Amino acid sequence: MSTAASSRRHAVPIALFGVAYALVTLATGNEYHQLILTLVPVWAVMGLSWNLFSGYSGLVSFGHAAFFGLGAYFVALAQVQWGMTPWIGIPIAGALGGLAGLIVGLPTFRLRGHYFALAMLAYPLALLYVFEWLGYQELTLPMEREHPAAFMQFADHRVYALLALAAMLASMWLTSVLERGRFGLVLTAMKQDEAAAEAAGIDPRAWKLRAIVLSGALAGAIGGFYAVVLLVVTPQAVFGMLVSSQALIVAMFGGVGTVWGPVIGAVVLVPLSELLHARLGNEIPGIQGVVYGVAIIAVILLAPDGVVWKLRDLRQRRASAANANVAPTAIVADDAPASARTIGPTLLEVSGVSIAFGGLKALDGVSLRVATGEILGIIGPNGAGKTTLFNALNGFLRPAAGSIVFDGREITGQPPHRICAAGVGRTFQVVRPFRRMTVFENVLAGAFVHEPDEIRARTIAVDALDQVGLRAIESVSAGGLSNRDLRLLEIARALAGRPKLLLLDETLAGLDTEGVEAVLAVVKRLAARGTTVVIIEHTMPAMVRLADRLVVLDHGAVLAEGAPEAITRNPDVIDAYLGKRWRTGDAVDR
């Protein structure tokens, strides 16, 4: 698929919509209707701004009024105090919004879930009181009779509507470009499973910051424009709860994480609430808020992801019913015998690593060495610390003591995305795909580690899919895959990061015989191509066939290590893990 062609395909509906909207605007004579036609794109841009951050990252912001209000007050104050025209003021308001995003994001991204949402709520409310205290209860933009157009003041109010429309189309175009590029892919992946994304080499903090800066810039700029349209700025109108809520609600109503969602939300809700307010505002003064409240409750109960996703899901269900009989994945031929591999110098050296959870010592001075090109198996009873060891190796857990040296570099305590970039890929005991993304997108998300260029990243992803034999189903949504294909998908995602070392955590768990063979074949082939593999596994016969060497963990410590044949005869290992039936020497042949 060509990026240029697909970007043209998305630009056409946006352009058509823009032309239609402009025609409607030009044909509207009523000034009140012209104001509504201006407010629709204003709130659509606010929704797009919210969506750019919260929609893709999944972190709900209740505080977008902070950026909006700062922009509005900057434009108004700059004109009042320094006579600065909004033509210059609005871009600066955008920059200010972006800066505010950075300042808010830096500390607040330490929070998760509920706390993030609450903290975001506090920023605009704190600003609201500050601006009241500063004495800006009501700031009026001066009329510029000499050069009205130079100060963005027009007798014909349709000009405002057209300016707002231009801002909306630009925001839509920006969103659509970002959505289909690395930005959208990475944020969508993080939203679905942040830990898995981090293990695939994505730095969550850096991407969230990028998102909130962009989002804050959009909100700041449109806030500045809003000040120009209304000519009066009050703290409640620009920092108030309804501003943040409206941004969130138009986006959620239409559909989070989409280009059209916030626009649809604004097109439906803004005129509805404005017209009801005009008609019933005297008897029912709070009608606007009630409309938004009812709208958001209805959406949450009926279509939690918004109108656009509801439609998309319905369409997809029909489509997937049509091609339910996807061809089974090809079993990759076991063409390279394990013996062809060459074992090289030490790639990973773990010395004395300890991790404790409260009083429980999950790892107690574990030391082991992995040679380049080798397949090392890790076995041991449940709770022996196998997965904890992997979590320490890929940076999910910081060891309390000990060191981990990979490829000649100390990686102890580094964050997962950096360890991934250093060349350590991993899979998970319980599979963690990005379920709402296609197989190809899942793998592509992992391909940006060494390759910021999108076209080349795509090539890498295709290559990784080829290696595990999932190419045929690359456009299927990961949520619908079989266990075997999910296991292979995780391997492909890890491979896309071009790892030198692959950590496979119970990759064979829950597979039938045929599935085990398929995955084993893939792992052997990877090893034959030079990838070093450390694998945790309970299926001993498979392990004995696959691994060059076994390490046995028990109670967080290394109980034994050596060649598979020796390990299966080791009496300590038999007592601690294998059980008595391994005392009869024929077990290995099964």
Partner 1 sequence: MDAAQYAENFLQALTAGLLTGAIYGLMCVGLSLIFGVMRVINFAQGDFMMLGMYAALYATAWLGGGPAAPWIAALLAGPMIFVVGVLSHRLLISRVTGLRSTALAADGHYAQLILTLGLALILQNGGLTVFGSAPVSIATPLSSSAWELGPLLGDRISVFVNQGQTVGAVIALLAVAAFVVLMNRSRLGKSLRAAADNPVAAIYMGIDVERAHRLAFGLGVAITAVGGGLLATVYPFQPYIGLEYVIVMYAGVVLGGLGSVTGAFAGGLVIGLVQQLSTLVLPNQLQNTAIFVVFLAVVLLRPQGLFGRAARRT
Residues that bind partner 1 (CB under 8 A): 58, 60, 62, 107-108, 110-115, 117-119, 121-123, 125-126, 129-130, 132-133, 194-195, 198, 241-242, 245, 248-249, 252, 283-290, 292-297, 300-301, 304-305, 391, 396-397
d(CA 111, CA 109): 5
In the bound state with partner 1, the residue whose beta carbon lies nearer, of 127 and 376, is: 127
- Report, in Å, the least distance between residue 390 CB and partner 1: 9
- Report, in Å, the least distance between residue 124 CB and partner 1: 10
Phi first, then psi, for residue 163 (nearest 5°) are -65, -45
Q: What is the DSSP letter of 438?
A: B
- Report, in Å, the least distance between residue 282 CB and partner 1: 11
426: how many CB neighbours lie within 10 A of its CB? 28
In the bound state with partner 1, the residue whose beta carbon lies nearer, of 84 and 241, is: 241
Classify residue 365 as exposed, middle or buried by CB count within 10 Å of its CB (0-12, 13-18, 19+): middle
In the bound state with partner 1, the residue whose beta carbon lies nearer, of 416 and 564, is: 416
- Report, in Å, the least distance between residue 268 CB and partner 1: 16
In the bound state with partner 1, the residue whose beta carbon lies nearer, of 53 and 292, is: 292
- Report, in Å, the least distance between residue 522 CB and partner 1: 24
- Report, in Å, the least distance between residue 83 CB and partner 1: 29
- Report, in Å, the least distance between residue 492 CB and partner 1: 21
d(CA 425, CA 199): 7
AA letter at 88: I
- Report, in Å, the least distance between residue 253 CB and partner 1: 11
Answer yes or no: are the C-beta atoms of 201 and 422 closer than 8 Å.
no
In 3D, which of 535, 544, 548, 531 has the Cα closest to residue 372?
A: 531
Q: Which helix (H) or strand (E) holds 253?
A: helix 241-254
In the block, residue with structure tokens 């029912």: 284
- Report, in Å, the least distance between residue 352 CB and partner 1: 21
- Report, in Å, the least distance between residue 133 CB and partner 1: 4
Answer yes or no: are the C-beta atoms of 397 and 473 closer than 8 Å.
no
Q: Which helix (H) or strand (E) holds 290?
A: helix 287-302
SS3 state of residue 557: strand
d(CA 229, CA 141): 10
In the bound state with partner 1, the residue whose beta carbon lies nearer, of 62 and 74, is: 62
- Report, in Å, the least distance between residue 294 CB and partner 1: 7
In the bound state with partner 1, the residue whose beta carbon lies nearer, of 86 and 395, is: 395
In 3D, which of 208, 164, 212 has the Cα closest to residue 44?
A: 164
In the bound state with partner 1, the residue whose beta carbon lies nearer, of 275 and 472, is: 275
In the bound state with partner 1, the residue whose beta carbon lies nearer, of 293 and 530, is: 293
Answer yes or no: are the C-beta atoms of 175 and 51 closer than 8 Å.
yes
In the bound state with partner 1, the residue whose beta carbon lies nearer, of 58 and 381, is: 58
For 554-571, letters b (16+ CB in 10 Å) and e give: bbbbbbbbeebeebbbbe
In the bound state with partner 1, the residue whose beta carbon lies nearer, of 26 and 400, is: 400
In the bound state with partner 1, the residue whose beta carbon lies nearer, of 319 and 430, is: 430
Answer yes or no: are the C-beta atoms of 265 and 249 closer than 8 Å.
yes
Our measurement of the distance from residue 387's CA atom to the centroid of its chain's CA atoms, rounded to an integer in Å, reads 24
Answer yes or no: are the C-beta atoms of 462 and 439 closer than 8 Å.
no
- Report, in Å, the least distance between residue 428 CB and partner 1: 8
In the bound state with partner 1, the residue whose beta carbon lies nearer, of 146 and 283, is: 283
Distance set, CA 110 to CA 47, 118, 206, 215, 481 (Å): 24, 13, 12, 19, 34
SS3 state of residue 497: coil
